[in-house]
Amino acid sequence: MSLKDRITDDMKAAMRARDADRLLAIRGLLAALKQREVDERVVLDDAAVVAIVDKLVKQRKDSIAAFEQGGRADLVAKEAAELAVLVAYLPQRLSAAEIGAAVAALVGELGATGPADMGRVMAAAKSRFAGQAEMGLVSAAVRQALAK
């Protein structure tokens, strides 16, 4: 079963259970998936679905930070609930130590030597770590590896 099919089945289950908050989050995700399929005229595979979920997770985290600064606890709770639903569709995340080791190996594979190679290493890292790690952590690990 593809990830998209699993999301659709979860939407149906949320409808049957009358879980309005979960249903809202899943419908938003399915709308984002459908929008991408229509815009690009493609059928999304699991990797593309994970990329979209990752983007939505980042948006929710940014929204939570902004609402916390604004003192809007009600909106923080709403975004946190949606975040919890979305995170369930992401694969297991790598730890900081695992990211550091994988980035060091990647830098060695590419023969990168200094900060000038940051773009080349990040391009390779984005494809390798898609959905498995936050790109902010990967970027920091790449900077650290290239600074040595």
Q: Which two tokens stand for residue 101?
A: 């080791």
Angle at 139 between CA 137 and CA 144, to 5 degrees: 95
Judged against a pLDDT cut of 90, whether residue 113 lies above it is answered with no
Query: Residue 73 CA to chain centroid, in angstroms?
Result: 24
Report the pLDDT value the prediction gives residue 134, as an integer from 0 to 100.
Answer: 82
At 29-88, the pLDDT tens digits run 999 999 999 999 999 998 889 889 989 999 999 999 999 999 999 999 999 999 999 999
The neighbour count for residue 23, using CB atoms within 10 Å, is 19
Model pLDDT, residue 91:
86
Confidence at residue 4, expressed as pLDDT on a 0 to 100 scale = 94
Q: Which pLDDT value is given to residue 97? A: 87
What pLDDT was estimated at residue 107?
87
Q: Confidence class of residue 108 from pLDDT cuts 50, 70 and 90? A: confident
Give me the chain's average pLDDT, please. 91
Tell me: pLDDT of 133 over 90: no
Residue 118 has pLDDT above 90, yes or no: no
Residue 27 has pLDDT above 90, yes or no: yes
CA distance 26 to 30: 6
Cβ count near 70 (within 10 Å): 10
Pairwise CA distance, residues 109 & 111, whole Å: 6
The reported pLDDT for the residue numbered 74 is 94
Q: Which domains does the chain have, with CATH numbers?
A: 3-87 (1.10.1510.10), 96-147 (1.10.10.410)
Burial 47-60 (b: 16+ CB within 10 A, else e): ebbbebbbebbeeb
The answer to whether the CB of 119 falls within 8 A of the CB of 78 is no
Question: Residue 1 — pLDDT band, cuts 50, 70, 90?
Answer: confident
Q: Residue 115 — very low, low, confident or very high, per pLDDT cuts 50/70/90? A: confident
